[in-house]
Amino acid sequence: MLLNRSDAVSLAKGLEGRYKDAKYYLNFKTPVDLLVAAILSAQTHDEVVNAVTPALFAKYRAAADYARADPEELIGYIRRVSFAGTKAKNVISTCKALEERYGGKVPKTMEELVELPGIGRKTANTILINAYGIVVGIPVDTWVIRLSQRLGLSANTKPEAIEADLMALLPKEYWHNFAYVLKRHGKELCKDVPVCSKCPVDRICPKNGVKKRL
Ligand code: SF4
């Protein structure tokens, strides 16, 4: 079952109320830091990314530093993240593109960001929202994909279609933080066996696909 707009807004409001301190989870100081951390975060726990980035960001301070990096040396800083070799190559090629096209700056539009190697809409939304405060969409990560269907916000499985469904249902004021609220909710209550009895949106949520709950 899919929620109508009014129930979807009530659900988003209820979850935001419970997770008032939900926010983006990777540490960064500059837009380049954020872009690099986002590339490293694929299929890697946030804690691991946050553990390697202080030394990495101290060594490589700008896109030019990554663009000129020796791949083996860079891998040495990120060895703990999964697929370190591939990610090191991606970081170097993306930062080379930043140097060549944008003078080493991270661009501020979705269109420009998704043209960079290895950057899709999720990462582009993440950068725009968290580095620049520009909201043009909703980052759709694995938590958003899983919970959007369960909570009746989308019947789609492809990230871009889910994002479009969420943008149609929710007013823009919810877009910047919704992914981070859903992530907290997925970790704390809406787990594989969800704790619906403690959930603030128990009465609205259709619980699609839920077979067992607490
Ligand atoms: S915990 Fe239960 S009621 Fe709450 S969002 Fe998840 S499935 Fe729905």
For the chain, the structural domain boundaries read 5-23+138-198, 31-132
Measured from CB, residues less than 6 Å from any atom of ligand 1 are 150-151, 189-190, 194-196, 199, 201-202, 205, 207, 210, 213
Q: Is 154 left (phi over 0), alpha (psi -120 to 50) or beta?
A: beta
Class of residue 79 by CB neighbours under 10 A (exposed 0-12, middle 13-18, buried 19+): exposed
Mean pLDDT across the stretch 127-145?
97
Q: Is the pLDDT of residue 117 over 90?
A: no
Residue 159: its pLDDT value, please?
Answer: 97
State pTM to two decimals. 0.93
pLDDT digit string, tens, across residues 40-97: 999 999 999 999 999 999 999 999 999 999 999 999 999 999 999 999 999 999 999 9
**CA of residue 198 to ligand 1 center, whole Å:** 9
| 18 half-sphere exposure, CB direction, 13 A CA radius | 21
Of 151, 154, 197, 214, the residue with max ligand 1 atoms within 8 A of its CB, to mutate for a pocket test, comes to: 151
For the CA of 198, the closest atom of ligand 1 is 1
Residue 112 amino acid letter: E
CB 153 within 8 A of CB 166: yes
Residue 88: its pLDDT value, please?
Answer: 97
pLDDT digit string, tens, across residues 162-195: 999 999 999 999 999 999 999 999 999 999 999 9
CB 41 within 8 A of CB 24: no
**CA of residue 211 to ligand 1 center, whole Å:** 12
Residue 105 amino acid letter: K
Residue 118: its pLDDT value, please?
Answer: 83
CATH 1.10.3720.10 describes domain 31-132: no
Of 13, 18, 147, 150, the residue with max ligand 1 atoms within 8 A of its CB, to mutate for a pocket test, comes to: 150
Mean pLDDT across the stretch 120-146?
97
Mean pLDDT across the stretch 102-130?
96
Q: Topology of domain 5-23+138-198, per CATH?
A: Endonuclease Iii, domain 2 (1.10.1670)
